[in-house]
Amino acid sequence: MILHEDPRSGNCYKIRLTAAFLGIPLDFRSYDVMKAETRTPEFLAEVNSNGRIPVLQDGDRFLPESNAACFYLADGSPLIPADPFERADMLRWMFWEQYNHEPNVATVRFWIAFIGEDSLNDVQRLLLPMKREQGNAALALMDRHLAEQDWFVGRRMSLADIALYAYTHVAGDGGFELGNYRHVCGWMERLSSQPGHVAMNRETPLAVKGPSD
Amino acid sequence: MILHEDPRSGNCYKIRLTAAFLGIPLDFRSYDVMKAETRTPEFLAEVNSNGRIPVLQDGDRFLPESNAACFYLADGSPLIPADPFERADMLRWMFWEQYNHEPNVATVRFWIAFIGEDSLNDVQRLLLPMKREQGNAALALMDRHLAEQDWFVGRRMSLADIALYAYTHVAGDGGFELGNYRHVCGWMERLSSQPGHVAMNRETPLAVKGPSD
């Protein structure tokens, strides 16, 4: 299987991390989203007509959407609960991640660490305070949930934890103060000490350039 | 099982429609989102701390997120493909619906038919053209996909079709011209003629009041 990715993207990292926990080997094709390499005619025709990564390729079949790709890799494994309610509850957190968490926590990170606060356009500048507030609301909701239990669903790590970990653990890149969410911090430590865990490539373009460039 | 819902919401209708196709009886508790009835202390404490509907209740367990609730109802039924790739591909379209379709097609409908274009705030007014454009891009992507096949995944109706149908078939309430997407129109006719189909309560507050009030 081949993962079409930008290694700095949390959505791509979710799939890489799921495969690592399960011991599934993947090949990688890298694209630079800052250079619009996923909007070329070839990419749109052959990989994803939606112009987005990640896409998981299995033979001649292509699967976009990070959480769907994680589900495909983990289907039948202990990363997906066997109990029907818990399985649906895992998906609940994954849909919540895409609707309430990613558009705020990940978008703010992209704007601050990849585009740069001084380079935002007028719409982005207007939306930034609201997205910061909603990102903090998402982190606070996670913190309240994790005050009661070690993992998002049931008593063991599932895809819900992997999906939420991906952009949470690099939320500091976007200026979020993770130290304010101590149950989230404990959960991140638990997850990163699970056997098979691999780290994300956190080098953002702005971090590579450095603040003085 | 009890569905906590606002009957005018497409996200709630998805669950109602899934249950109808499967012949599963549901009880209903109605809330008026225009009166913030899902933000009361009782709702936040007892039903969903995220302050949103729909929530599917099974005994003393509560399941938010529309697509997760549909998955719970349909688990083990023919509405979820048995083939692992097709099952993940179904989830791919459901995640795409929540990330690319609902925030544009459903949000524009809410702004136009529930709040009213003259009553939008400055941020909504600024975002409206972009959301219209992205909503049309989502409908166009669906149309290209449905030019090739009758259903979103495989050769029969699945939860992907139900999830995408819910806000697509009322997109006209938000000013989208569905007639521009003829493969989408054919697919909507196919879906609405399946045995068990039930209609949505389309009465929006503005439609109930009438344009002359």
Give the residue-averaged pLDDT of B100-124. Answer: 96
Query: Given a cut of 90, is residue B91 above it in pLDDT?
Result: yes
SS3 B66: helix
Alpha-carbon span B207 to B213, nearest angstrom: 10
Cβ contacts below 8 Å, chain A against chain B, sum to: 102
What's the mean pLDDT when you consider all of chain A?
94
Alpha-carbon span B54 to B69, nearest angstrom: 9
pLDDT tens per residue across span B35-64? 999 999 999 999 998 899 999 999 999 999
In the prediction, which pLDDT does A211 show? Answer: 45
In the prediction, which pLDDT does B207 show? Answer: 66
Residue pair A163/A93 in contact (Cβ under 8 Å)? The answer is: yes
Which residue did the predictor score with more confidence, A49 or A21?
A21
User: Quick one: what percent of chain B has pLDDT higher than 70?
Assistant: 96
Query: Given a cut of 70, is residue A141 above it in pLDDT?
Result: yes
- pLDDT band at residue B209, thresholds of 50, 70 and 90? low
Q: How far is A213 from chain B (nearest CA, A)?
A: 33
In the prediction, which pLDDT does A207 show? Answer: 66
Domains of chain B, start order: 2-74 (3.40.30.10), 84-192 (1.20.1050.10)
For A80-92, give the DSSP string. S-SSHHHHHHHHH
Query: Given a cut of 80, is residue B22 above it in pLDDT?
Result: yes
Q: Taking an 8 Å Cβ-Cβ cutoff, which residues of chain B contact chain A?
A: 49-50, 58, 61, 63-69, 71-72, 75-76, 84-85, 87-89, 91-92, 94-96, 98-100, 102-103, 123, 126-127, 130, 141, 144
What's the mean pLDDT when you consider all of chain B?
94
In the prediction, which pLDDT does B82 show? Answer: 96
Q: How many C-beta neighbours within 10 Å does residue B16 have?
A: 22
In the prediction, which pLDDT does A208 show? Answer: 61
Residue B35 phi/psi, 5° resolution?
-105, 15
The DSSP secondary-structure symbol of A121 reads: -
Query: Given a cut of 50, is residue B210 above it in pLDDT?
Result: no
From residue A135, how far is each of A100, A106, A108, A143, A191 by CA, in Å? Answer: 8, 9, 8, 12, 21
